[in-house]
Amino acid sequence: MPDRFLSSDEYDEQAHQLYNQGCFDEALELLQQGTQLYPNAVELHVGMAYAYLAREEYAWARRSFERARALDPDHEDTLAGYGEILLKLGERQGALAAFDRILALGFRDDHELMLQIGRALFREGLLAAAQSFFEYAVTSEPDCPEAAACVGYACHRRNDDSGALYWLRRALQIDPHYSEARIYLANILYDRGETDAAMHHLHQTQPEDHYDELGIWRYLELKKSIYRLADDDAELRPWFARLGEVAGMPDPVETMIAEVEATQPDGSTRDPTQLELFGTLLTELQAIQRRSVPSGVHTIATLTGRTFRGTWDEILEQMKGAEREWAAASLGDFMADHARRGAAETGVIIPTTDAEAFLRGSARAGVVRIIQ
């Protein structure tokens, strides 16, 4: 069937497939044909805008988003993309207004949309605003490992190590094969000096899981020091090969740009081992708005996503009772086993003297999260 007989939906669908394949030029050409036949099709204008955005042609993207807004002011994808463009152009208030409009329209349960907005805000350094949108994403999809990991990345950016440990381990509880979260967690542990715990996680990754030099270098360093291996050991060859693939030959222009970007306002150089740009995402989960609760009553969440409420002693009893294999064991044995496992994976010593000390120590280790 000739292209001129395609419906607007068919144009949109075909362009979307091209976009997902990274064929932005072809997608844009197809969408331009479609808008000539269907000038009032909002989805086609939105598709063109996102194609321009992918090509970093921000002025053209803005024009297409504005045309889509003229046709449908409350189209959620239009508002999200328009806000992202405004952020790129430095118009933060307009961007925040567009994102707030999406919430007012009732889309906070659309976790993909919330993730998209959160990423856009995070990339521009608006961490407080991004935090709220990732809270909606986690709330709407509590078993989404990506959303949980993004919260962990953000917690780390905001110097909340216990939050980072909890959310990254929560992501791995949901999906043990989520290598990006595991590598990020290992790097955090390495920076904290918890090399045994870092190796515990790096040892569960494969060379092809790594797309950043930092994790590979650290794996090699730990592997050689712990097991006393030489550089030419056969066990390390796949890792050195992957390092060569990831690092490649440095481009002089890119090196110069990296040096400029690494210079901070005070003239000092940013620590190249920081994880600030290691993850692709995102920001700390804000505390959920709390209701008034009786004094001494607390709520905690575990890595499995379960929540327990009561006094410290009651919560500990509930946690033990929820694990069938520990039902007949003593609280002391329960705490000792969990403290041992927590220390092995995070390097944090969890006290077992009483319920409160154990739960607060578990929170510092990222084993549980204290909500209130």
8 Å CB contact between 183 and 172: no
Confidence of residue 295 (pLDDT cuts 50, 70, 90): low
The tokens for 351 are: 């006290």
Q: What is the pLDDT of residue 246?
A: 86
Q: What is the pLDDT of residue 170?
A: 93
Cα gap 29→15, rounded to integer Å: 9
Average pLDDT over residues 201-214: 93
Cα gap 121→130, rounded to integer Å: 5
Q: What is the pLDDT of residue 280?
A: 40
Is residue 256 pLDDT above 60, yes or no?
A: no
Is residue 73 pLDDT above 60, yes or no?
A: yes
Average pLDDT over residues 289-308: 69
Confidence of residue 21 (pLDDT cuts 50, 70, 90): confident
3-state secondary structure of 307: strand
Cα gap 59→187, rounded to integer Å: 38
Cα gap 33→37, rounded to integer Å: 7
Q: What is the pLDDT of residue 342?
A: 83
Cα gap 115→228, rounded to integer Å: 43
Helix (H) or strand (E) holding 321: helix 312-322
Helix (H) or strand (E) holding 2: none
**Cβ neighbours of residue 59 under 8 Å, at least 6 residues apart?**
none
Express each pLDDT in 25-44 by its tens digit. Answer: 998 999 999 999 999 999 99
Q: What are phi and psi of 269, to 5 degrees?
A: -105, 135
Give the residue from 191, 111, 96 showing the smallest Cα distance to 151: 111
Lowest mean pLDDT among 66-80, 276-290, 350-364: 276-290
Work out the number of other CB atoms within 10 angstroms of the CB of residue 276: 11
Give the residue from 118, 51, 124 showing the smallest Cα distance to 86: 124
Is residue 319 pLDDT above 70, yes or no?
A: yes
Express each pLDDT in 97-114 by its tens digit. Answer: 999 999 999 999 999 999
Is residue 326 pLDDT above 60, yes or no?
A: yes
Q: What is the pLDDT of residue 347?
A: 80
Q: What is the pLDDT of residue 281?
A: 38
Average pLDDT over residues 273-302: 49
DSSP code, position 203:
T
Residue that is written with structure tokens 């796949």 in the block: 238
285 or 148: whose pLDDT is higher?
Answer: 148
